[in-house]
Every structure is written in C-alpha cells, then in structure tokens.
C-alpha cells in the first residue's frame, strides 16, 4: 500500500475543496521519473545514505522537493537493503562504549586506541571495527536489489498514492463505479470496511465510513480505506467524494471536500500492476468457520463468497450462503464496526424481508466507545461459534417446514412407478424433505405408503408380503435379500410396514428370524 508521508502531500486547496496535484505524463516528468529510476538501478551495492544524497540533488533543478521525495519513497519501497558488516555492529558498539567509558575524555588519539583494543578483543582489524560500528544504521544499509518500474507506471503510481494519502485521513468516502463490482465488493469484505451500498442505473453507489469517524483503530482502518481506491479505479468509469481532515499549523483539523472522477484524471491514475484482489478467505476466522460447519453434516449446503446480494436497490455483501430445499440464509461476518454502524445495518435488514441474514461480530474489532448493540447478532471473540448459527438455521428451517406442511395438506400429487423417492418428490414439489415427510404422515397419495425414505405402492407391498410368506425359511437374511432385489433401499422399514418384527440372535442375520407381530400374541 502506497500512502505517502503527510509532509510529502502536494495538493491545491480552494473554496473548501482539495485536489491532489497530479503529475502529467509529459516529457519533462517522464524524463525525471526515468532519471530517478536509473539512480536506484545503478545504486545496487551502495549505501542508502549515498543513494539518497544523489536523489536529493534533483530537488534543486526546478521540481517541488515533495515530488522528488515522493517518487523516491515509492522507489525505495521496491528496494531490498541489508546490513553488511564484518562483525555484529551491536557487539562492536557495546565494547567500544565500555572501553570509552573507562577514559575521562575521548580525544582523537584515545579514540584510535579504543578501536585498537576492541579490534584485538574481536580478532579483527581496526578498519573492520570502524566499518561495523554504525553499519546497521539506516543510511549505512546496502542496496542489494531493486525491482524496476517504467517511468509512466511510476508517475501513475505516484498520482494514485496522492489520492490514497488523502483517503487515509477521510471522515467518509462516497463513490460510484460502473464496472468491477465483484472486485470492489470482495475488496470491501477482505478489508473489513464499514459500508452501505445501493445499485443504481449503470453502476453502484457506496458509502464507506472513514477512519476519522472512529474512536479507535484509526490508522489500521485508514490504511484499509486507502487500499480500496485502486479497486475503484479498476472500474473504468468511477467518481469519488470524500471529507478529508488535514492538520493545520495550530494543531487543529480542517475538513475539506475531495472530488475526483475518471474523466478528470484520465490516463493520470492507473491500478495496473498493483496487488490483485486476494482470492482467499477474508481471514482465518472465515476459513475456520467454513471447515467446521461443513464437518457438522447439517444438511445445509454452505457456499463461501456467494457474491453481492441485491434486494431492491440495496446491495449486501455476505460471506456465506446456506441452502437447503430451496431455502436460502446468508451470513455476514462484520470486520471493523461501531455500535452506530451495526444499528444501521440491523435496521436495514429488518426492512428487507426478502433477505434472511445472520450477522456475526468480532468484539475485538470495535471502533467506538459504545459497545452495546441491541439486535439479532452473534458476538464472538476468537472464532465464530457454530451452535448459535446452527440453532438459527434450524429455527428458520422449522418456520419453513410449518408453512410447507400447511401448503401440502390435502395435496395429492400424481405419482408414477411402484417406488418414488421422497427426496426426488420433495425437489419436484419445491419443498423440504422433512416438510413432505410430515405432511405424508397425515395422509399420503392414494395407493401408496411411506416406507423409510420412499413411497411404495400398496400393490408392491402386497406382492412382497406374499413372497416373504412363501420363503422356505424365516431367516432375516433371506427376507432382506428378497426386499433388496425388488429395488427397495430400506428393508427393515419394509418389514415393519408389513407387520414383521425381528428376533435377534446377536448380530447374525442368518440366525436372526422374522415373525408376524400378531402371530406372536
């Protein structure tokens, strides 16, 4: 993420508005970028202090020093530095200071003797001690690698960074985007931003709570807001408005309005080559929940990142979708939050009857003094608990089952075949399997009986009953084989339906026998 130090921010302020001074893609600035890139490329193997001294020379050739230092900051982030020292510099400093402390005054001559004594202790030369003494200080670090960038890309990255630096200090960010919805919303979720969004003709409109609207975690959240901007730029056609709070010389804050769009910044800002949206779970919390829930075997199918959910003109970004028998329930795991943000979210959900949403909130991500939120929330600390989620899914399932049983009451669907799968029929009717099962206990289709998970015709049951009676033995194993040959999956349910019980001999099917319940009397 390429937020610049605030003292390198180059802007124009007019009538309560603020705009970053974007660098044009002209020959002069492209040449400057090329020169600075060359300084870093040729600086491999040199000390950082020497490198920055070369960069500083360009501050005196007609460019704003903030532009030079800003470009150098971005280039420095593409560098690898390391300590090169014959001896551990911390050890050298400790020994030198201990030796020097024994002398009342350390003049040049005494300094040389101190270095000689330390060199003798370490078994190295005086030059090695001299080189090692400050070698881990920032300006003495050695440039060992540089990831080059072309001049135009550097200038566009600089312009992007100017906007990100302003957004880092925003109180609120509003934006519209005509494309890249999926990327934008995935990024919002990955960053844990507090948002509200609406679908509008030709695009999406969203409001992001800014870091300066929070009581705590402002730097971390500000970084997250700034990191969203490249994804907005990828939309092609976009616009942003933000309230930016900048420090004044007297220590106060001045709030200014930032307004930018793709038309006015055409070809000056680009997000190519920057970090892509991470195609992974938002965090280990989501991954842990996903794996633990799947292992439960609840019958609910869970899907991660189902995509933006549009209800009316509202856009929601759930983390998970649960599906069962045509019933859909969504779940959002909130990132950063304030009590007011959660109240607004719950109020919106209460007005959207078509969206069934579970909201889970990490208590550690609170960004406000007020921690009390009344409403249907699952609060957690380190991991989302499974039980309240499963309880809510079961409660929702029971509500749906009750309605479906009522709708199925008196219905007599036309069936074909001697055996009809309960699951297949439920899918055909668009109801939950359990709802169909309960409805059938009150009376099923004429000529059929519910046997386990299948509807079996009375004619087939009568035929099987006659074949069982004709068996040469009453062994359980013989009866099971006969029933399974008929294509039925639940032989024990068939035997029960036909009025048979089992007299078990341990667990041996060949020794166990069946008998008619009425005959036992």
pLDDT, one tens digit per residue, over 286-328 is 888 999 999 998 889 999 888 777 777 778 888 899 998 778 8
User: Which residues lie across from 500 on neighbouring strands?
Assistant: 516
pLDDT of 279 reads 40
pLDDT of 219 reads 78
pLDDT of 465 reads 92
For 210, 274, 343, 452, the CA distances from 224, given in Å and listed in that order, are 10, 15, 22, 54
Q: How many Cβ atoms sit within 10 Å of the Cβ of residue 499?
A: 12
pLDDT of 277 reads 43
pLDDT of 209 reads 83
Nearest to 326 by CA among 241, 407, 410: 407
Give the model confidence (pLDDT) of 499-516 as tens digits. Answer: 999 999 888 888 899 888
Nearest to 211 by CA among 199, 227, 198, 197: 227
pLDDT of 179 reads 85
What are the residue boundaries of the structural domains of the chain, listed by start?
85-134, 284-400, 419-520
What is the 3-state secondary structure of 314-369? EEECCCEEEEECCEEEEEEEECCECHHHHHHHHHHHHHCCCCCEEEEEEHHHECCC
Residue 323, CA atoms < 13 Å, CB-side half-sphere: 8
pLDDT of 213 reads 63
SS3 content of the chain, % helix, strand, coil (to 5): 45, 20, 35
Q: How many Cβ atoms sit within 10 Å of the Cβ of residue 365?
A: 15
Nearest to 465 by CA among 456, 345, 404, 355: 456
Contacts of 193 (CB under 8 A, 6+ apart): 208, 209, 221, 224, 225, 228, 335, 336
Calculate the dihedral angle through the C-alpha atoms of 281, 284, 285, 291, rounding to the nearest 10 degrees. Answer: 80
41, 128 contact by CB (below 8 A): no
Q: How many Cβ atoms sit within 10 Å of the Cβ of residue 321?
A: 18
pLDDT of 280 reads 36
**Greatest alpha-carbon span in the chain:** 119
CA distance 453 to 65: 78
164, 229 contact by CB (below 8 A): yes
pLDDT of 273 reads 58
Question: In which residue ranges of the chain is pLDDT below 50?
Answer: 277-282, 370-371, 373-374, 521
Nearest to 258 by CA among 269, 248, 244: 244
Domain 284-400 fold = Trna Endonuclease; Chain: A, domain 1 (3.40.1350)
pLDDT of 182 reads 81
CA distance 269 to 430: 51
Q: Indicate the DSSP class of residue 249.
A: T
Q: Look up residue 345 and give its two tokens.
A: 């979210």
CA distance 154 to 148: 10
């Amino acid at each position: 993420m390429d937020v610049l130090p605030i003292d390198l921010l180059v802007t124009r302020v007019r009538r309560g508005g603020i705009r970053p001074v974007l660098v044009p893609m002209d020959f002069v600035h492209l040449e400057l970028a090329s020169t600075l890139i060359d300084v870093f490329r040729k600086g491999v193997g040199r000390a950082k202090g020497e490198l920055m001294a070369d960069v500083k020379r360009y501050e005196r050739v007609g460019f704003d020093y903030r532009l030079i230092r800003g470009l150098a900051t971005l280039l420095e982030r593409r560098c690898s530095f390391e300590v090169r020292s014959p001896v551990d510099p911390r050890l050298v400093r400790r020994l030198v200071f201990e030796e020097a402390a024994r002398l009342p005054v350390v003049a040049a001559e005494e300094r040389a003797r101190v270095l000689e004594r330390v060199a003798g202790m370490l078994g190295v030369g005086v030059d090695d001690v001299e080189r090692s003494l400050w070698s881990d200080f920032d300006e003495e670090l050695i440039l060992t690698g540089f990831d080059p960038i072309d001049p135009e890309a550097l200038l566009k990255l600089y312009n992007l960074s100017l906007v990100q630096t302003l957004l880092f200090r925003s109180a609120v960010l509003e934006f519209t985007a005509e494309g890249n919805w999926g990327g934008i919303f995935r990024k919002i979720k990955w960053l844990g931003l507090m948002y509200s969004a609406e679908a509008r003709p030709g695009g999406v409109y969203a409001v992001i709570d800014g870091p300066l609207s929070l009581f705590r975690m402002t730097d971390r959240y500000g970084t997250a807001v700034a990191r969203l901007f490249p994804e907005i730029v990828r939309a092609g056609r976009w616009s942003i408005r933000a309230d930016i709070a900048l420090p004044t010389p007297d220590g106060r804050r001045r709030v200014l309005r930032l307004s930018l769009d793709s038309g006015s910044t055409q070809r000056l800002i680009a997000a190519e080559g920057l970090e892509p949206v991470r195609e992974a779970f938002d965090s280990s919390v989501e991954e842990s929940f996903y794996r633990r829930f799947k292992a439960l075997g609840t019958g609910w199918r869970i899907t991660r990142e189902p995509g933006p959910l549009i209800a009316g003109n509202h856009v929601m970004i759930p983390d998970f979708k649960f599906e069962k028998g045509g019933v859909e329930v969504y779940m959002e795991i909130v990132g950063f939050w304030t009590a007011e943000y959660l109240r607004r979210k719950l109020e919106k959900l209460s007005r959207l009857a078509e969206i069934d949403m579970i909201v889970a909130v990490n208590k550690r991500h609170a960004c406000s003094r007020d921690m009390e939120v009344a409403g249907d929330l699952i609060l957690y600390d380190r991991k989302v608990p499974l039980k309240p989620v499963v309880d809510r899914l079961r409660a929702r399932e029971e509500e749906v089952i009750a309605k479906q049983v009522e709708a199925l009451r008196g219905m007599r669907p036309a069936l074909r075949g001697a055996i009809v799968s309960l699951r297949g029929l439920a899918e055909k009717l668009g109801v939950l399997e359990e709802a169909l099962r309960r409805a059938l206990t009150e009376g099923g289709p004429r000529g059929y009986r519910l046997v386990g998970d299948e509807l079996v015709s009375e004619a087939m049951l009568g035929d099987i009953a006659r074949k069982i009676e004709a068996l040469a033995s009453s062994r359980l194993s013989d009866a099971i084989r006969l029933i399974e040959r008929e294509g039925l999956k639940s032989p024990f349910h068939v035997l029960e339906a036909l009025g048979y019980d089992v007299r078990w001999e341990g667990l041996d099917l060949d020794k166990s026998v069946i008998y008619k319940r009425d005959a036992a009397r």
